[in-house]
Amino acid sequence: MIVPVILAGGSGTRLWPLSRTAFPKQFFALSGQLTMLQQTCDRLQGMQFHKPMVICNEEHRFLVAEQMRQLGSSADILLEPAGRNTAPAIALAAQHASAKASGIDQAVLLVLAADHVIEDTAAFQAAVQRLLPEVCDGKFGTLGIVPTEPATGYGYIKPASSGSDIQQVAEFVEKPDAQTACQYIEDGYFWNSGMFMVCADRYLEELNRYRPDITQACNAAMADVSHDMDFIRVDKAAFEACPDESIDYAVMEPLCAAGDSVVMTALDAGWSDVGSWSALWEISDKDVDGNAVTGAGETVLKDTSGSYVYSQDRLVTTLGVDDLVVIDTPDALLVASKDKVQDVKSIVAEIKASGRSEHHQHRKVYRPWGKYDSIDNGERYQVKRITVNPGAKLSLQMHHHRAEHWIVVSGTAKVTNGDQTFLVGENESTFIPIGVTHSLENPGMIPLELIEVQSGSYLGEDDIVRFEDLYGRN
């Protein structure tokens, strides 16, 4: 059985301010109607696959579950207690897949990134089918991207031969400088896509051979697995003790050096890892002046060319500029030269070091019950617009430092306020004093919209004492 393993733990730093730690790029629809995670799952349609496994961190678990629900699909959602790179993540997936495989079937892992664009799905599926017999025969397979330019932002694969559908891999090489990249193109190298196929047992065997420390840590983490709704949790302390290493360094490079266990098939399918705003500009539809315009907001571009402009919800205008990236979100604006966007991560690092929060989350924050938008705040007050999904319920909770006033804008709220439970309709309100246990529920069939006014000496999100929660949060 082929088990798609979708790695969804990245932070997408170079696509800030749209992509943030709490809501990274794989959960956005950057090229089409589906999010990048949903596109990754959708391009598996029509092939014989087992239920996919999505590996993500704890903070993103409800985003993954909701996006899979929207897609009408199910997945095993395996939670990493901490980021430890691809080699440990795939080890967890291999152990889980092996445990589920029958005595007859062998689990073949198809390792995919959640944040890649592949325009030609048929070519992708054909490449997977070409690799499958080799993988079932014990080889490690990878998809080598046919390069379109001497890019310096990708690693490369050096084939040992040329001219056939399946080629032995001689070497994986790091991201080159411009001169070396040109030489790689002349010598017939391929871009390293980071997509792999391997039998689960073979991966564990070779990982234990070259990196037994990773194997031991992952074995310990999987020895104490718990299941919570759609989520699979491993032992936190054991996994945090695992070394941080990529599959390239841990397994693929040693295997290439040792012999002929790694094979590649070429993929020419409009692939991009969307690793920067310039990369997104390249794959986007453009007007006659070479401008790509996206987002729900309006734009007016005059005497502008070769630019990428994203407006989330308000009017953005440009005049007399070329080759710019303009990304406008409700709480942060990026204006950059298109040839400098690889360095956006340095801005993110500076924001993080300054103690600000814009690197971590948007003004609009998603929760398993819905979302909230922090529309105003001051020294002792904060105003939020809250949306509660039909049938959803916030935790039964209490605050030590703030009071809350709820005003229902649309829908009907079922409110627990101290020892009373009652309904609050449109244009009605209720007041929650400091220290009073309370909860909010949407018993209706339409989204519940309300305005929450907080007041008090401390308004941080960590001033929550939860007594009951449908979603298993502490």
Q: Tens of pLDDT along 147-178?
A: 999 988 899 999 997 778 999 999 999 999 99
Answer whether residue 332 shows pLDDT above 90: yes
Domain 364-468 CATH class label: mainly beta
Check residue 302 and give its pLDDT.
97
Using 50, 70 and 90 to split pLDDT, how confident is the model at 349?
very high
According to DSSP, the β-strands at 190-199 and 108-113 are antiparallel
Partners of residue 440 on adjacent β-strands: 415
Region 255-259 average pLDDT: 88
Q: Of 217 and 58, which is predicted with more confidence? A: 217
Answer whether residue 60 shows pLDDT above 80: yes
As a whole-number percent, the residues of the chain with pLDDT over 90 amount to 84
Answer whether residue 237 shows pLDDT above 90: yes
Check residue 32 and give its pLDDT.
84
Q: Which residues contact 356 (CB under 8 A, 6 or more apart)?
A: none
As a whole-number percent, the residues of the chain with pLDDT over 70 amount to 99
Q: How long a stretch of residues is the chain?
A: 474
Check residue 102 and give its pLDDT.
61
Using 50, 70 and 90 to split pLDDT, how confident is the model at 133?
very high
What backbone phi and psi angles, to 5 degrees, belong to 342?
A: -65, -20
Question: Among 30-34, 289-293, 354-358, 388-392, which stretch is predicted with the lowest mean pLDDT?
Answer: 30-34
Check residue 103 and give its pLDDT.
56
Answer whether residue 471 shows pLDDT above 90: no
* Mean pLDDT over each residue of the chain, to the nearest integer: 93
Check residue 267 and give its pLDDT.
96
Options 3.90.550.10, 3.40.50.300, 2.30.40.10, 3.30.420.40; CATH of 2-272:
3.90.550.10
| Unique residue bearing structure tokens 């309300």 | 450
Where does residue 345 rank: exposed (0-12), middle (13-18), buried (19+ CB within 10 A)?
A: middle
- 412 CB-side CA count, 13 A: 7
Computed from CA positions of residues 172, 151, 288, 307, in that sequence, does the dihedral angle turn out positive or negative?
A: positive
**Cα 273 to Cα 279: distance, rounded to the nearest angstrom:** 8
Q: Where in the chain is the domain with CATH 2.60.120.10?
A: 364-468
Asked whether 61 and 231 are in contact (CB, 8 A), the reply is yes
Check residue 231 and give its pLDDT.
92
For the entire predicted model, the pTM comes to: 0.90
Give the tens place of pLDDT for each residue, 81-120.
Answer: 999 999 999 999 999 998 876 654 689 999 999 999 999 9
Nearest CA-CA partner of 16 in 269, 297, 397, 325:
325
Give the tens place of pLDDT for each residue, 289-330.
Answer: 999 999 989 999 999 999 999 999 899 999 999 999 999 999
Where does residue 408 rank: exposed (0-12), middle (13-18), buried (19+ CB within 10 A)?
A: buried
Nearest CA-CA partner of 15 in 266, 325, 322, 240:
325
DSSP secondary structure code for residue 176 in this structure: P
Alpha-helix runs per DSSP H in 108-267: 121-136, 178-186, 200-210, 212-222, 236-240, 247, 253-258
Question: Among 27-41, 155-169, 204-218, 321-335, which stretch is predicted with the lowest mean pLDDT?
Answer: 155-169
Q: Where in the chain is the domain with CATH 3.90.550.10?
A: 2-272
433 prior amide bond cis, ω within 30 = no
Check residue 128 and give its pLDDT.
96
Give the tens place of pLDDT for each residue, 436-454.
Answer: 999 999 999 999 999 999 9
| Unique residue bearing structure tokens 């718990």 | 226
Answer whether residue 372 shows pLDDT above 80: yes
